[in-house]
C-alpha cells in the first residue's frame, strides 16, 4: 500500500493531521474514523487532537474533521484556520476572502499575513444562545446547575457549556468537566469551557468532546465564551481570549468573527500498515 502523505499543523497548540484530497480520495469514507483514532494516537501514531480532510466541490474548498476518538464534529475553529493556511500556501486559495464548506454550513474567512505568519479571521456565523436569562436566547433555553456549577450553553458550530469561575487555574478540568460534558442536558454531549473574566481578557480552559480531555485551545469554545460574556455585559464587542496555547481575538456582532494564528509544523508520510486499525487514543 502506498505511503500516505500528511501535514501536521496547529492553532494555538490545538493540533491536527491534515490529509490533502484536493486531487483524489486518499482515505475511504468508511475508514476515516479508524484512521483518525490510529493516526492521532500520541504514542502509536503521529499524534493530534483531530484529522482534517481537505477536498473540493461545487467551486468551494471543503473541510471535514474527525476527532481523536473517531467522531465527526460539525466544525472546528482552530482546525479551519489550519486548513486555510495550508490551502493558501498550496495554491488552492489566495490571500483574502475564502469560502469553505463545512458540516456546520458554508463559512467565509479572510487569510492574511501578520508579522510574517498566517493570520486567519473566520466569520463563525450567528451563534445559538441557550441561556434562559438572556433576552436574545434561542428556542432551546438553557441555564442549569450541574455538579455545583452554573452552566450556560451556546452553539457556535458545535455545542459548548460555559462556566464562569474566579480562577481557571484552580479548576481540575479533567475531573470536573466530564460531569458536564456527559450530562443529560446535552443529548449530543458538549465541549466544556471554564472562564475567568479579567480586566482586559477572558482566560479559558477547555475540555473537548471527542478528544475527551483538555486541549490547549478551542476556537469554537473561545467564540462561545465571548458570546456569553458579551451578552451578560461582562465584556465588550471586541474580546481578547487567552487560551493555554495562546491568544485569540473575537468580535461579537450580528455574526461572530474569530481571528488567530495557524502554524505548519512538518510534513511526512504514513505507512498505513503500521497503524493499528481503530486503536483508541
pLDDT-derived band at 2 (thresholds 50, 70, 90) equals confident
Check: CB of residue 202 under 8 Å from CB of residue 226: yes
Catalytic residue status for 76: yes
Choosing from 82, 131, 154, 218, which is the catalytic residue?
218
Choosing from 40, 76, 82, 131, which is the catalytic residue?
76
pLDDT-derived band at 278 (thresholds 50, 70, 90) equals low
What class is the 4-123+262-274 domain?
alpha beta
pLDDT-derived band at 280 (thresholds 50, 70, 90) equals very low
| Residue among 246, 248, 244 nearest 259 (CA) | 248
Residues whose CB is less than 8 angstroms from the CB of residue 228 and which lie 6 or more positions away in sequence, other chains included: 129, 131, 152, 154, 162, 195
pLDDT at 130 (0 to 100): 65
| Residue among 171, 137, 173 nearest 155 (CA) | 137
Residue pLDDT, tens place only, 86-115: 999 999 999 999 999 999 999 999 998 887
For the chain, which residues make up each domain, given as ranges? Answer: 4-123+262-274, 128-254
pLDDT-derived band at 138 (thresholds 50, 70, 90) equals very low
What class is the 128-254 domain?
alpha beta
The CA–CA distances, whole Å, from 37 to 29, 46, 217, 229, 249 equal: 14, 11, 20, 34, 31
Catalytic residue status for 82: no
Q: What mean pLDDT do residues 156-176 have? A: 95
Residue 281 has pLDDT above 50, yes or no: no
**Which pairing describes strands 50-57 and 14-20: parallel, antiparallel, or unpaired?**
parallel
Residue pLDDT, tens place only, 256-269: 999 999 999 999 99
Domains 4-123+262-274 and 128-254 share a fold: yes
Amino acid at each position: 500500500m502506498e505511503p500516505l502523505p500528511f501535514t501536521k499543523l496547529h492553532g494555538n497548540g490545538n493540533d491536527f493531521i491534515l490529509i490533502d484530497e484536493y486531487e483524489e480520495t486518499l482515505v475511504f469514507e468508511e475508514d476515516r474514523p479508524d484512521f483518525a483514532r490510529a493516526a492521532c494516537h500520541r504514542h502509536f501514531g503521529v499524534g493530534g487532537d483531530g484529522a482534517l480532510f481537505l477536498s473540493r466541490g461545487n467551486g468551494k474548498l471543503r473541510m471535514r474533521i474527525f476527532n481523536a476518538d473517531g467522531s465527526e464534529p460539525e466544525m472546528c475553529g482552530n482546525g479551519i484556520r489550519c486548513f486555510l493556511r495550508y490551502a493558501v500556501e498550496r495554491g488552492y486559495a489566495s490571500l483574502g476572502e475564502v469560502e469553505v464548506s463545512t458540516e456546520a454550513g458554508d463559512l467565509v474567512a479572510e487569510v492574511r499575513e501578520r508579522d510574517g505568519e498566517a493570520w486567519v479571521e473566520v466569520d463563525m456565523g450567528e451563534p445559538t444562545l441557550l441561556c434562559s436569562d438572556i433576552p436574545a436566547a434561542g428556542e432551546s433555553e438553557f441555564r442549569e446547575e450541574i455538579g455545583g456549577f452554573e452552566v450556560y450553553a451556546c452553539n457556535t458550530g458545535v455545542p459548548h457549556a460555559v462556566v464562569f469561575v474566579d480562577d481557571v487555574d484552580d479548576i481540575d478540568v479533567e475531573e470536573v468537566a466530564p460531569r458536564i460534558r456527559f450530562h443529560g442536558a446535552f443529548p449530543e454531549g458538549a465541549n466544556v469551557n471554564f472562564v475567568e473574566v479579567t480586566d482586559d481578557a477572558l482566560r479559558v480552559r477547555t475540555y473537548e468532546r471527542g478528544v475527551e480531555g483538555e486541549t490547549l485551545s478551542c476556537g469554537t469554545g473561545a467564540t462561545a465564551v465571548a458570546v456569553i460574556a458579551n451578552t451578560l455585559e461582562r465584556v465588550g464587542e471586541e474580546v481578547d481570549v487567552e487560551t493555554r496555547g495562546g491568544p485569540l481575538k473575537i468580535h461579537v456582532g450580528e455574526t461572530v468573527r474569530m481571528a488567530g494564528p495557524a502554524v505548519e509544523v512538518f510534513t511526512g508520510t504514513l505507512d498505513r500498515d503500521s497503524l493499528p486499525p481503530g486503536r483508541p487514543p
